[in-house]
Structure 1
Amino acid sequence: MTSSQVQNHQLAELYEQDFCQWADAIAQRLREGRFDALDVEHLIEEIEDMSWSQKRVLLRNLRIVLLHLLKYQYQPEQRSQSWRSSIIEHRIRIAEAFEDSPSLQAYLLENVEKSYQRARTQAAIETELPLKTFPDATPFSIENVLNEEWLPD
């Protein structure tokens, strides 16, 4: 085994033992331009995971907005500042995600209905209303869902 292969093997082992130390070692090698001394397999895995992580957070925020919009619309007697605050907070988080990564807008649009179905199920559980109370497809336009000023009547 060459010394480069030994270093790469040691890095791969370090990845399993101490992620932070592994990340520091990778960053140092990148700064130094030592691309032949990288643990490429794990580096690729981590970069892909960063993207998936951002996508998961985005959809979680969308689901929470949809959940509270459903509760707001279908339980008007229960409306609270807490629900409004949560809707606004998660809309802001979505907007900030779009500022950081505009490509997430397309991902969100592709997943609105899946997020709605999860929000619908959760709304039925939280409100103790029958699932059929809530429309099969999202009753809200995406423009309204993301509009910081809009709330259902």
Structure 2
Amino acid sequence: MLVDAFETDTNCPVSWQARSRSFVSLMTLYESNHIRLSWLAPQLHSVCEPQVSRVEGDCPLHLALEDRSRYTTTLRLTYIFEDEAGPAADPDVRIRIYHDARLAEAQSCVRWHRHGLLESIRSRLARDMDERWMRNIMLNKWLEYCVERGHRFAGSPLR
């Protein structure tokens, strides 16, 4: 894997795989998301302009700043697909980063997926904890996939 030189998420204190859907496991998943997001965008604190990562054999990956405060940053991460109806963002994930706690939470994800299998999984998970769990597991796996494909975002200097 390309992340040998980076911090890994193998030492997260509580395995989210052991007791899924508990609050403690969800927080550990957020910690793993933060680590994986920092593999993709090592300068999370300095992202200010929209960025696009392009690698051969994969769709362009878009990262945009939505909001920044003293302790949090909210980003949008997505692929943009060209469709006969126009451009479509999918999976279009809104991520809140909690800098002091080193956590990253997928707050929202496109509600209706273009892909039938993803939509069938989403529709079976109705409760709030299940929704959070599903969004963040998806983000966790997608971040790993993006890094393995070679995507990276450079930091932009703060203004």
Range into which the TM-score falls when normalised by the shorter chain: under 0.3
Which structure is larger by alpha-carbon Rg, 1 or 2?
Answer: 1
Structure holding more helix per residue:
1
Bigger RCO of structures 1 and 2 (CA < 8 A, at least 6 apart): 2
TM-score by length of 1: 0.24
Structure holding more strand per residue:
2
